[in-house]
Structure 1
Amino acid sequence: MSRQQPRELTVINKTLVTPNMLRITFGGENIHTIPEDQESGYVKLIFPREDQKSLFRTYTIRYQRDNEIDIDFVLHEDGGPASTWAKNAQPNDTILVGGPGPKKLIEESADWQILVGDMTALPAMSVNLEKLPQDAKGYAIIEVISEDDIQALQHPSGIELKWVVNPHPGENSSFLVDQITSLPWPKGSVSVWAACEFASMRALRSFFKNDTNIEKENLYISSYWKLGSNEDQHKEVKRIDSEEMA
């Protein structure tokens, strides 16, 4: 999260994008404290608790307009505080929002690109696809919970979108790797952008580092969540994993 002090934003609207993804539009008098050009950057939603440390939950800015931002929430049956808050949010509700943090965009200089992620990464993947040059080539492998969660996305015609349905995200760590290994591998240099559940991330990282010749500067890979863990627990697991990889 940046040094910008958290600000109170107001719920303007909410829209069900697909059965398992809810979009909330935020605005209000403090919206201009968020700098321009922050799509795919992350913010921290802050949930104060009496006599306890506030909860922080990380989300991507999907769209940004002059006086509004959109944030997409994946809806889970056993939703945490953020998705539960989003389901119950009504216009004029307010919430503290910190950030934004840095954008993570795929390297464009390679001969082709591959983007891979689950629904938690779909907002950031969507922005990446929109910002790629129109002559970009490659694949985007997008894991969704159901066929009804497939969205129309703006993307270069040379990027093939491959939607794969997994009703139980996070339970099979090799699911996304299996999708990638089944694809033809074009010649030339490749850049990768990947984000998903922690165990799936580790499987992808192992594949890209050990079974391909991708240069380090062309590989961005991150875990956005961990099955069975809340964000605070996931953050600690990521810290330990990062130290082990150093």
Structure 2
Amino acid sequence: MHGRVTSTEQLTPGMVRVVLGGGDLERLEMPHATDAYVNVAFRPAAASYDQVFDPKAVRETAPQEEWPARRRYTVRSWDAETRELVVDFVVHADEGVASRWALTAQPGDVLVFEGPSGDYRPTPAADWHLLVGDESALPAIAASLEAMTSGERAVVRVVCDGPAHQVDLSTRADLDLEWLHRHGDERDASLLLAAVEALDFGEGTPFGFVHGEADEIRAIRRHLLTERGMTRRDLSCSPYWRRTMTDEAWRRIKREYVAAMEAEAVTS
């Protein structure tokens, strides 16, 4: 599957919005999920194959140094009428293949991906909704809030680098939103956990969407399961990245990390 860039927008100093159209998007089927994601394949500049390619075929036929770099990104929105796909990229200067691509993307550029897939969508059956994360979770949090209806309650806690990194979040639900700003030191690792620990849950059990930095998400998940009486059925948790690790290093250990995180719930 592939689309072509129709426009880009610098939403914040650390986030670039890319709008895709054309390509294969006429046959794209979107899951009924607000955390829908695509597995993007970034072609090396010196690759011998075309900009439009089959990632599986490349891995089977091309030398390893020509294999595309793989990254996973949440779909911010999909317009079934215009067949436009919007993806918001968290960028860090010129660091990483995805950041470099998003910062330099021009109309007509190709983005190859597999998917989309997804699992989570807020249900009105929940007593209330708890959405927690950082910039990497913002596309899913924003899409989830937009899917909520009047009368639902959403409590949102998001950590980011400062006011300039905040984005507009709209919803018909009753919204309790707090932005947490990093200090640039060791305190940052506990900002989200402390915010969740300070919450008055009141009546009812929330459904939690907790996504972002691995160790932060793991600590919050442990708190919700062991101290708030929630169960795994009440949670959607995913570690998107890990502090001090490159994307490639994180990809190599992510499966084992998630397995260890899941095992904690078995013994707790």
**TM-score when scaled to structure 2?**
0.82
Moved more, 185-194 or 106-115: 106-115
Aligned equivalents of 1:118, 1:164: Cα separation in 2: 9
Q: Which runs of 5+ in 1 are unaligned?
A: 1-6
- Report the more deviating stretch, 35-44 or 157-166: 35-44
Residue of structure 2 equivalent to 1:44 = 39
Q: How does 1:231-246 map to 2 (within 5 A)?
A: 231-244=247-260, 245-246=262-263
- Letter of the 1:48 counterpart: R
SS at structure 2 position matched to 1:17: strand
Residue among 165, 178, 192 paired with 1:149: 165
In structure 2, the residue matched to 1:112 is 128
- Judging changes above 3 Å, is the alpha-carbon distance between structure 1 residues 223 and 36 closer, same or farther for their aligned structure 2 residues? closer
Tell me which residue corresponds to 1:84.
Answer: 100
Percentage of matched positions with identical amino acids: 26
| Contact 2:77–2:85 (Cα < 8 Å) also in 1 | yes
Instruction: List per-residue Cα deviations over 1:140-177 (Å, max 9, x = no partner).
Output: 01112120122221123412111111254997332101
Measure, in 2, the Cα distance between the counterparts of 1:10 and 1:144. 30
Q: 1:74 aligns with which of 90, 96, 103?
A: 90
Q: Structure 2: which 5+ runs fail to align?
A: 48-62, 264-268
Structure 1 match to 2:75 = 61
SS in 2 for 1:133: coil
For the structure 1 residues 79 and 116, does the alpha-carbon distance in structure 2 shift closer, same or farther, using more than 3 Å as the test?
Answer: same
1:223 counterpart (223, 239, 247): 239
Is the counterpart of residue 25 in structure 1 residue 19 in structure 2?
yes
| Amino acid in the other structure paired with 2:101 | W
Is the Cα contact below 8 Å between 2:30 and 2:117 reproduced in 1? no
CA distance in 1: counterparts of 2:211 and 2:243, whole angstroms: 14
Query: For residue 131 of structure 1, what is the aligned residue in structure 2?
Result: 147
Deviation at 1:110, TM superposition (A): 2.3
Structure 1 position 61, deviation (Å): 0.9
Match for residue 220 of structure 2? 204
Say whether the 8 Å CA contact 1:117–1:196 is kept in structure 2. Answer: yes
Residues 12 and 92 in structure 1, CA contact (< 8 A), matched pair in contact too: yes
Q: Which amino acid aligns with 1:224?
A: Y
The separation in 1 between residues aligned to 2:107 and 2:76, in whole angstroms, is 19
Pair 1:92–1:167, CA change in 2 (3 A) = farther
If you compute each CA radius of gyration, which structure gives the higher value, 1 or 2? 2
Output the aligned Cα RMSD. 2.1
Whether the 8 Å contact between 1:14 and 1:23 is mirrored in structure 2 is yes
- AA paired with 1:134? S
Query: How far apart are residue 37 of structure 1 and its match?
Result: 5.5
Give the CA deviation at 1:40.
3.1
Match of residue 118, structure 2, among 96, 102, 105: 102
Where 1:100 maps in the other structure, the secondary structure is: strand
TM-score, normalization by structure 1: 0.89
Cα shift readout 1:111-144 (whole Å, capped 9, x = no counterpart): 1111000000000011111112221114101112
Distance 1:138 1:89, change over 3 A: closer
Report how many aligned residue pairs link the two structures: 240
